[in-house]
Amino acid sequence: MPENWQQGGFGLYVHWPFCEAKCPYCDFNSHVVREIDQTRWAAALASEVRRVAAETSGRVLGSIFFGGGTPSLMAPETVAAVIDAARDGWTFGNNIEITLEANPRSVEAARFEGYARAGVNRVSLGVQSLREPDLRKLGRLHDVTEARAAFAIARQVFDRVSFDLIYARQGQTLAGWEEELGEALDMAVDHLSLYQLTIEPGTAFWDRSQAGKLRGLPSDDLGADMYELTQEMCARAGMPAYEVSNHAGADAESRHNLVYWRYGDWVGVGPGAHGRFDLNRQRMESVAWRMPGRWLTAVEEVKSGDELRSSVDGNDQAIEYLMMGLRLSEGLDLARLHQMSRNVATLKQIKDLQEMQLLEVYSGRLVATPRGRLVLNSVIESLLP
């Protein structure tokens, strides 16, 4: 039987934990700092890449993803050091995808050519909104003009450019989202990430919501209408959903994110980064120290940034694969799922959901129907032991 990385791909995730400001909706591991010792961080990240590469040799690396935080605050030399360490440690795939998340501010767009020289070949811009008042509500530091200018620069430097938008925002109407999404589709190269605003515990928006101060959020019904409109407009524009929140033209899917959703192998370096990979015939989970200072000290003094390293049993593997794979329009391989565990997505559970027109099975793949994707969390819950 092929290994997980051969079935789902192999990728490297690099977490850069620093931001200029904390967005009120963000629950990621990000920290606002004034000064960053780029040389020290470059050495630590490269050291971690070399460490995990020594453990996972023999795999072909298909993608590198610099996430955060705000990776476009990294010096190009820092990015280059990480990519060089990865190249030394693994065989690069012929069409390796190297993505860097960037804020669309002019100061960061000025670094794009340096990132390209370092080896980055795809940029994902955190535009989030094409409406000035909403950018302010979302706590973004850029304006619409700056976002459009950064996007134009990115298109000149990189063949592949994606950007994110958040919808179901405060005060947003269906007609307003239709107009804004139309503008985004006119801009888009080949990939869009379109997320409904969710209010996560631990964020400023959550605190405001709990205090009754976050008003004007769309109802669940309006949010569902926005989701359906998004699917229809993107499909007509030749960018159908290949995942619940991600849309792409032909062969333009995020290859790195597909590693997660297809449950391949990925290693994570940087504060708070998570990994899943096979080691000595076991599926391993790794979790790095979350706080930047603690992680940096561990790497420099103990030579490992991992706080946790443990094995994942078959049942948990199946649950993770189910939760990831059903997000994809292609679904998941049912036989592979049941090789991990037959307690997850039993034939009776599947049949019940088929009768409700929430799931379908074809060519050995388990797929959520369009109706099922609207209530995907409930569908997944119904398939658990």
Specify the pLDDT at position 25.
60
Cβ–Cβ under 8 Å, residues 130 and 180:
yes
Higher-confidence residue of 103 and 118: namely: 118
Listed range (18-27, 217-226, 265-274, 325-334) with the worst mean pLDDT: 18-27
3-state helix vs strand vs coil in the chain, percent to 5: 45, 25, 30
In the chain, which segments carry CATH 3.20.20.70? Answer: 4-260
Specify the pLDDT at position 93.
96
Could you read off the pLDDT of 78-115 as tens digits, one per residue? 999 999 999 999 999 999 999 999 988 866 778 999 99
* Rounded average pLDDT over 266-270: 98
Pairing of strands 365-368, 359-362: antiparallel
Whether 19 has a pLDDT exceeding 90, the answer reads no
In degrees and rounded to multiples of 5, residue 64 shows phi and psi of: -130, 135
Share of the chain above pLDDT 70, in %: 98
Mean predicted lDDT score pLDDT of the chain: 93
Cα–Cα distance between 182 and 211 in angstroms, integer?
35
Whether 14 has a pLDDT exceeding 70, the answer reads yes
Cβ–Cβ under 8 Å, residues 168 and 218:
yes
Specify the pLDDT at position 284.
97
Domain 4-260: assigned CATH number: 3.20.20.70
pLDDT band, very low/low/confident/very high, at 24 (cuts 50, 70, 90): low
| pTM, entire model | 0.94
Could you read off the pLDDT of 299-309 as tens digits, one per residue? 999 999 999 99
Whether 59 has a pLDDT exceeding 90, the answer reads yes
Whether 198 has a pLDDT exceeding 90, the answer reads no
Q: Report which residue type is found at 78.
A: T
Specify the pLDDT at position 106.
67
Cβ–Cβ under 8 Å, residues 177 and 167:
yes
**Burial environment of residue 143 by CB neighbours within 10 A (0 to 12, 13 to 18, 19 or more):** middle
The dihedral region occupied by 96, where left means phi > 0, alpha psi between -120 and 50, and beta the remainder, is beta
Cβ–Cβ under 8 Å, residues 83 and 64:
yes
* Rounded average pLDDT over 362-374: 95
